[in-house]
């Protein structure tokens, strides 16, 4: 999993029909301390994350291993909204 | 698999329900220093050197079958003889 920060929503009226109903967020990868990396992702969200939230994102087939996302053409999913990250050293 | 050092943990009260029982560790890969979050079922603590397995293989670990996980700790190393970069 990777840590990301939510930058906004991706809205699309022309998309694969299996994406209907999916909420898509634009997120940026971050370091545990919060610094942004140079990589943006579009990720599906079923937890209701909002702008500025730190989220935990799974990549790959893991994204399709939940009830709402099974069979959807997605490869990234928010699996947690992060309260805090404790890093030592 | 990656050789990584446990450097911390992630606290998240609102998460996908199947992830609830598990601790989420911040790990740093040993040479490149990239950070990832891994599910831990072995009680690894900060400072320990671990082996992580990614992608579909992560879900072949005990207790992780069928849940949305893409990285987990598969071994906590007692010792690893790795020359410094």
pLDDT at B83 over 90: no
Whether pTM > 0.90 for this model: the answer is: yes
Q: Does A39 touch chain B (CB under 8 A)?
A: no
Range of the domain at B63: 2-75
* Residue A59: closest C-alpha in chain B: B70
Tell me: the pLDDT tens digits for B12-55? Answer: 999 999 999 999 999 999 989 999 999 999 999 999 999 999 99
pLDDT at B9 over 80: yes
CA distance A87 to A75: 27
Establish if B82 belongs to a structural domain.
no
- Structural domain boundaries in chain A: 2-81
The CATH number linked to B64 is: 2.40.50.220
Establish if B61 belongs to a structural domain.
yes
Of A2, A47, A58, the CB nearest to B69: A58
- Which residues in chain A have Cβ-Cβ distances shorter than 8 Å to B15? 47, 56, 79-81
CATH 2.40.50.220 for domain A2-81, yes or no, is yes
Q: Which of A35, A83, A85 to mutate to test the interface with B (most CBs of B within 10 A)?
A: A85
ipTM attached to this prediction? 0.90
The tokens for B15 are: 């998460």
Tell me: the pLDDT tens digits for A9-51? Answer: 999 999 999 999 999 999 999 999 999 999 999 999 999 999 9
Number of domains in chain B: 1
Regarding beta strands A2-10 and A54-59, do their DSSP bridges make them parallel or antiparallel, or are they unpaired?
Answer: antiparallel
**Dihedral in degrees, nearest 10, Cα atoms A37, A16, B68, A77:** 30
Number of C-alpha atoms within 13 angstroms, CB side, residue A41?
Answer: 25
Establish if B83 belongs to a structural domain.
no
Q: Does A29 touch chain B (CB under 8 A)?
A: no
């Amino acid at each position: 999993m990777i840590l990301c920060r939510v930058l906004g929503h991706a809205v699309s009226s022309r998309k694969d029909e299996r994406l209907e109903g999916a909420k898509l967020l634009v997120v940026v990868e971050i370091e545990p301390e919060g610094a942004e990396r140079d990589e943006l992702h579009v990720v599906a969200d079923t937890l209701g994350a909002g702008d500025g939230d730190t989220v935990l994102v799974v990549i790959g087939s893991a994204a399709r291993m939940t009830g709402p996302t099974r069979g959807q053409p997605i490869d990234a999913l928010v699996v947690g909204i992060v309260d805090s990250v404790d890093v030592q050293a | 698999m990656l050789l990584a050092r446990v450097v911390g943990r992630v606290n998240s009260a609102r998460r996908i329900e199947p992830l609830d029982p598990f601790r989420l560790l911040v790990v740093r890969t040993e040479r490149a220093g990239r950070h990832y979050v891994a599910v831990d079922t072995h009680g690894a603590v900060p400072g320990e050197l671990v082996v992580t397995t990614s992608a579909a293989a992560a879900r072949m670990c005990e207790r992780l079958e069928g849940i949305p996980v893409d990285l987990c700790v598969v071994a906590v190393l007692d010792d690893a003889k790795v020359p410094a970069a």
